[in-house]
Structure 1
Amino acid sequence: MSDPNLRRVYTPEEAGAAVRERRLAKGLTQKRLAQLSGVSRKFVMDLEAGHPGAELGKAMLVFEVAGVEVLGALEASGRYAPKLDVDVKAHLDSFHPRRRRQI
């Protein structure tokens, strides 16, 4: 990992600490981060506390607003899958023909 601004997190506690660190660096309160992310303040509190049951979809919204970039999550677990050359849009379009016309 060559970028000094990136750090690896292996546990929910470390992910929560990363969110808290970025939130504070941006001068945001938990309440404001929650508002910007579209989640409750309690969710942000639980996420920052490292509660392992945090819903991933909501957590990803908070990560985006807080400026936490999520990379290689499966790498640490030993279940890392190499990157594949896949056209995700084309793959999704094959399942949803209407989607093809909207994009």
Structure 2
Amino acid sequence: MAILKTPDDLGSLIRQRRKALGWDQARLAHDAGVSRQWVIEVEKGKPRAELQLVLRVMNVLGIPLMAATPVPNREADVPQVDINEIVDRHRSPRRQGSAQSHAGTLSYAEILERARQMPPPGVAAPVLSVHETPATYRRTSKKKP
């Protein structure tokens, strides 16, 4: 298997395969429906060779075109999360007088919501400008007497 990175690599592959079949450039040109001059240029690595013709030549020579994409490293892409650590970190008594207070602890849904809003471990929390307030600040209405 050859790794093709440049037009020269592709031209070399086509030339090697043609010679392995014992064909001359005229035979390849005839079978692929291109000119001999075109075969000469593509074998030299001419960068402007028309892709449709290159694919036709590769098909005539029996060179399969296979594309491989790198397999993403799932462990590197997904941050490791310890759900027990998140629950323990957020399990604390609610403030007295809270309208949602019952049993003195956060619900599982509230813990997960808070954890979702937090930056992942190792990432600094965003710096707030003077005009921003964290979502955790209690908003009070300004009522006029």
Mapped partners of 2:12, 2:62: distance in 1: 13
Say if 2:12 is the partner of 1:12.
no
Mapped partners of 2:58, 2:52: distance in 1: 10
Paired letter, 1:68: I
Moved over 2 A (4+): none
- What are the ranges of 5 or more consecutive residues in structure 1 without an aligned counterpart? 1-5, 77-103
Report the CA distance between 1:9 and its aligned residue. 0.8
Which residue is equivalent to 2:27? 32
Alignment of 1:42-61 (within 5 A): 42-61=37-56
Select the residue among 64, 68, 89 that pairs with 1:69: 64
Report the CA distance between 1:67 and its aligned residue. 2.1
Report the CA distance between 1:69 and its aligned residue. 1.8
Mapped partners of 1:18, 1:68: distance in 2: 9
Q: TM-score when scaled to structure 1?
A: 0.63
Bigger relative contact order (CA 8 A; separation at least 6): 1
Paired letter, 2:29: A
Percent identity between matched residues is 39
Alignment root-mean-square deviation, CA: 1.6
